């Protein structure tokens, strides 16, 4: 190939008019979203669910900051608090309050709660499906809370059963 043609080919390739082997690969398909899987009931962990309605679902955090740590998430995927429809955000807030009140009626003995949501990696978000944490807190804890350690499934299921029962009791 005459050398003087090369610059023209480079320009065409840069403009997308000429296929070249070094063209950027297509974006990888997004990985399945674990909270979408849970919301759709595809994870085989129904015993960890504490509440569900037409917009939101609440279930035990698999690595609770304290016993009774629940996540409330929209059923329909939204990445974070900023891109969730307001009606869903309102339902998430009301549900988080409902869950916290129910936890207070159990023997988990929560003395306080963090109702918390992290939006964006810089804010500490690690699962990119909007969620509100309902975290039971106890006097004397450091503000950051206890270390998070993956809980035994039986402990998660026992806590979920208590909260479900408290949700339906007056």
- Asked if 133 is part of the footprint of Zn ion (rule: CB under 5 A), the reply reads no
- Asked if 47 is part of the footprint of Zn ion (rule: CB under 5 A), the reply reads no
Q: Which of residues 40-69 bind ligand 5GP (CB under 6 A)?
A: 59-63
137: partner contacted, choices Zn ion, ligand 5GP, none (Cβ within 5-8 A by kind): none
- Asked if 76 is part of the footprint of Zn ion (rule: CB under 5 A), the reply reads no
**Would you call 131 a catalytic residue per the annotation?**
yes
CB 29 within 8 A of CB 130: no
Binding span for ligand 5GP by CB under 6 A among 2-10, 20-28, 107-115, 119-127: 119-127
User: 15: Cβ–Cβ under 8 A, 6 or more apart, which residues?
Assistant: none
Tokens of 109: 């003995």
**Of positions 48, 91, 129, 133, contacts Zn ion by CB under 5 A:** 129
Q: Is the dihedral of CA 119, 116, 75, 42 positive or negative?
A: positive
**Closer residue to Zn ion, CB minimum distance, 33 or 158:** 33
Query: What are the φ and ψ backbone dihedral angles of 158, each rounded to 5 degrees?
Result: -65, -45
Q: Which residues contact Zn ion (rule: CB under 5 A)?
A: 33, 35-36, 77, 129
């Amino acid at each position: 190939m005459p050398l003087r043609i090369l610059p023209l080919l480079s320009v065409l390739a840069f403009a997308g008019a000429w296929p070249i082997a070094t063209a950027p690969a297509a974006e990888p398909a997004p990985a399945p979203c674990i909270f979408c899987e849970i919301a759709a009931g595809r994870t085989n962990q129904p015993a960890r669910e504490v509440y569900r309605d037409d917009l939101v679902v609440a279930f035990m955090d698999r690595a609770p900051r304290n016993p009774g740590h629940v996540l409330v998430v929209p059923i329909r995927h939204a990445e974070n608090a900023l891109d969730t429809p307001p009606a869903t955000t309102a339902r998430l807030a009301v549900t988080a309050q409902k869950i916290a009140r129910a936890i207070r009626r159990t023997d988990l003995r929560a003395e306080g709660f963090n109702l918390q949501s992290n939006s964006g990696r810089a804010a500490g978000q690690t699962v990119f499906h909007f969620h509100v944490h309902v975290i039971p807190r106890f006097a004397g804890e450091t503000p950051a809370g206890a270390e998070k350690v993956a809980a035994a499934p039986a402990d998660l299921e026992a806590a979920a059963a208590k909260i479900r029962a408290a949700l339906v009791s007056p």
